[in-house]
Amino acid sequence: MASKRGALIVLEGLDRAGKTTQCQRLVQALQQSGRPAEMIRFPDRSTAIGQVISAYLEKKSELEDHTVHLLFSANRWELVPVMKKKLEQGVTLVVDRYSFSGVAFTSAKLGLCQDWCMNPERGLPKPDLVMFLKMNPAEAAARGQFGTERYETSSFQKAVQEKFERIMKDPSVNWKVIDASQNIEEVHNDIKAHSLDIIERTENTPLGELWK
Ligand code: Z5A
């Protein structure tokens, strides 16, 4: 019998919802329980494409809106061979932002439709579970000042939140909404419970393709 594959688990949410904190905690907890796990984050700023994206986010360069959307997507596609290999080897991947951020952020810009934004994402490895760390933007703001990168304004974050609400209505994706206003330990416990369940349920199933 073929060996068990790892699960593809994504954390999404607004700025300062606690995605990075929770991805790190989850990977640590899975590893400590003897389950191979690694973290990936998008954008992956270490690649050549990622560096172009990073300069754009840091406002060191300007890019046309469609172009930067396609670069974010290409930054996911360039990691697909590595992701598939690790999943096949039984490593669970915990991903900090994925296609859903791509669609939510670009479609929050005026004049870019959701369907167009989804197209370059079609066929990427389909997450087995996407957990949306939900919290009131005002509470997130209390966690510290916005940074200086592009998109880090309360009005844009509100527009992104509305887009996420729409994307989450898609029944083809396994969404779980997590109350991110709880303390770090409580959020972690919720995320861990959902993750252990999906790891067990998907280990003998084939990896899907997103939005196909
Ligand atoms: N973007 C895009 O346009 N298209 C795409 O395809 C993709 C992304 C993938 C990348 O940002 C930007 O690119 C992003 C979307 C866009 N723009 N924005 N905004 P990034 O990934 O570099 O940064 P981020 O995702 O916004 O990360 P963040 O601001 O650091 O948020 P976070 O990861 O959700 O939060 P955190 O770092 O874990 O925690 C933030 C603080 O809150 C920290 O001090 C923690 O200690 C604290 N914290 C965390 N959890 C708690 C709880 N439960 N209670 C109290 N305090 C907490």
Domain ranges of the chain: 8-207
Q: How confident is the model at residue 2 (pLDDT cuts 50, 70, 90)?
A: low
Residue spans of alpha helices (H) in 58-97: 65-77, 80-88
Residue whose C-alpha is closest to residue 100's, from 29, 6, 39, 13:
13
> Each residue of 14-65: pLDDT tens digit?
999 999 999 999 999 999 999 999 999 999 999 999 999 999 999 999 999 9
Average pLDDT of the segment spanning 139-158:
85
Place of tokens 């393709």: 209
So what's the ipTM on this one? 0.97
Q: Which atom of ligand 1 is nearest to the CA of 140?
A: 42
pLDDT at 13: 96
Q: How confident is the model at residue 169 (pLDDT cuts 50, 70, 90)?
A: very high
Domain 8-207 = CATH 3.40.50.300? yes
Q: Which atom of ligand 1 is nearest to the CA of 143?
A: 42
Ligand 1 site residues, Cβ closer than 6 angstroms: 13, 15-21, 42-43, 57, 72, 97, 101-102, 105, 143-144, 151-152, 183-184, 187
Beta bridge partners of 134: 179
Which range among 27-31, 156-160, 196-200 shows the weakest confidence by mean pLDDT? 156-160
Instruction: Take residue 53 and report the two structure tokens written for it.
Output: 């994206």
User: DSSP letters of 172-197?
Assistant: TS-EEEEETTS-HHHHHHHHHHHHHH
Average pLDDT of the segment spanning 123-141:
93
pLDDT at 1: 41
Q: What pTM does this model have?
A: 0.97
% the chain with pLDDT above 90? 87
